[in-house]
Amino acid sequence: MIMAGNFQSVRRFALAIFLLGSGFFVQLHAQALPPQLFSEMDGLHFLDDGSAVPMWGYGWVTDGFITLPGPLLTYNEGQSVDLNFTNPSPESHTIHLHGLDVDQANDGVPTTSFLVPTGGSATYSFAATHAGTFLYHCHVTTTLHLTMGMYGMILVKRPDQTLFSGGPHYDEDVPLLFSDLEVETNLNSVQSFPFHDIRPDVFMVNGMEGSQLAAPEQVVHSAPGDTLALRLGSMAYSRVRCHFPAELHATCFMSDGRSVPEPFGVDSLDIWPGERFTVLVAPDPGWTGTLACEFWNMVDHVYEDTEMVHFESSLTGVPTTLAGARDGQGFPNPTNSTYNFPPVWGASAGSNVPLEKSVTVWDLQGREYYSGPLSDGRLDVSQWPAGTYVARCGSWPHTRFSVIH
């Protein structure tokens, strides 16, 4: 939902040359390869003011570009994972699986595991034993490689959409990965440095800041009754303090990849570097607001910045932006008798789709007007008040139609 990042570094050509040299394409033709991450050290990250700073990072080989943060890695609880990694960049890297219960050889710490040198490939093998929120990052010259952008989030999920065995059910994951950078360091990324030598001046959620986080596609939407799992993790050099408005009804269920002994309601939460929390929220219907995320300097405890994650909860299940509904998917429109929904919604002669589904219809004030079966794909609206309506059937896009008399 919100994990896309705003960064694309187009280096497909260089990667293709490398992969060609490595025989990658020969293998590709031989069989479909499992997903593979690659690393890159000549990316650009665009700040909210439009300027760009150099960055390094991870991306999918099939995408051909890196992102900040790196791709969200999602596994099922109990899954045996082979995480494939290839490194065409000019320096060695690793993938450290932060918080996962992996053996030492697959942990990505160079001194106890292995380095993936320039031109090398490797596979990290582990079992995703516990559902939870985890992180990954490069562990080579860590202070530098990490702040340059070599990190991402890992979710281990349960197929029944509960947080953990015996834990609460929820509807949707909302990954929120906090990080920061110091522009001067990214511009002169020559050597490692002690942790306390960096003074971040760009503060990010999912690689975005300021107006980037307010973009419509980054707004966290919910419908009445929805429970969202906020997957909070920090790769920042700062301490991050999240403030949960009362309208979110936030409850913390997990810390660092395990359930907490007693779930607790939270109005604010401090997240230190490397920490993760899973917080369930159930936004009040109709509430629009923000989750404020403060960044505090770790060395002198000075407040630096606040970044906002925007939420919109609809009143009735109709998205707050009715513009999302399209005209003309059914017919006739307008109508004074029967409205026929698009064939995929319900029924149509000759198709194998079920003949009866349920449909919900709202008026433009967001009030639910009808909820019930959709028989043979048709609704009799001859007795309905004249006006414009928005309907939804299952997960199909909302459609809009008008009744006239």
CB of 270 to Cu ion, least distance (A): 28
DSSP-derived letter for residue 67 is B
CB of 300 to Cu ion, least distance (A): 28
Half-sphere exposure of residue 376: CA atoms within 13 angstroms, side-chain side = 4
SS3 388: strand
| List 19, 135, 138, 202, residue binding Cu ion (CB under 5 A) | 138
Segment interacting with Cu ion (CB under 5 A) among 137-145, 182-190, 346-354, 382-390: 137-145
- For residue 299, the tally of other CB atoms under 10 A from its CB is 12
Binding mask 164-203 for Cu ion (x = CB under 5 A): ----------------------------------------
Q: Which is nearer to Cu ion, 11 or 392 (CB)?
A: 11
Q: Which is nearer to Cu ion, 95 or 242 (CB)?
A: 95
Q: Which is nearer to Cu ion, 113 or 399 (CB)?
A: 113
Closest residue by beta carbon to Cu ion: 138
CB of 187 to Cu ion, least distance (A): 18
Q: Residue 99 burial (CB < 10 Å; 0-12/13-18/19+)?
A: buried
Q: Which is nearer to Cu ion, 22 or 141 (CB)?
A: 141
Binding mask 64-103 for Cu ion (x = CB under 5 A): -----------------------------x----------
CB of 93 to Cu ion, least distance (A): 3
CB of 150 to Cu ion, least distance (A): 5
Q: Which is nearer to Cu ion, 140 or 298 (CB)?
A: 140
CA distances (Å), origin 189, targets 23, 38, 91: 31, 20, 13
What is the size of the binding site for Cu ion (CB under 5 A)? 5
Question: For residue 342, is the peptide bond before it cis, meaning its omega torsion is within 30 degrees of 0?
Answer: no
Beta bridge partners, 388, equal 402
Q: Any contact of residue 2 with Cu ion (CB under 5 A)?
A: no
CB of 225 to Cu ion, least distance (A): 43
CA distances (Å), origin 91, targets 14, 41, 54, 84, 393: 15, 8, 15, 18, 52
Q: Any contact of residue 131 with Cu ion (CB under 5 A)?
A: no
Residue 331's closest CA among 293, 385, 381?
381
Are β-strands 220-222 and 387-392 bridged in parallel, bridged antiparallel, or unpaired? unpaired
Segment interacting with Cu ion (CB under 5 A) among 1-9, 135-143, 233-241, 326-334: 135-143
Q: Which residue in the block uniquely carries the two structure tokens 């307010």?
A: 214
Residue 1's closest CA among 196, 189, 206?
206
CB of 6 to Cu ion, least distance (A): 22
CB of 239 to Cu ion, least distance (A): 24
CA distances (Å), origin 228, targets 208, 222, 265, 396: 20, 8, 15, 21
Q: Any contact of residue 140 with Cu ion (CB under 5 A)?
A: yes
Q: Which is nearer to Cu ion, 185 or 251 (CB)?
A: 185
Q: Which is nearer to Cu ion, 89 or 297 (CB)?
A: 89
Instruction: For the sheet with 399-403, list strands across it.
Output: 326-327, 399-403, 387-392, 356-363, 368-375, 378-380, 338-340
Chain residues in the site for Cu ion (CB under 5 A): 93, 138, 140, 145, 150
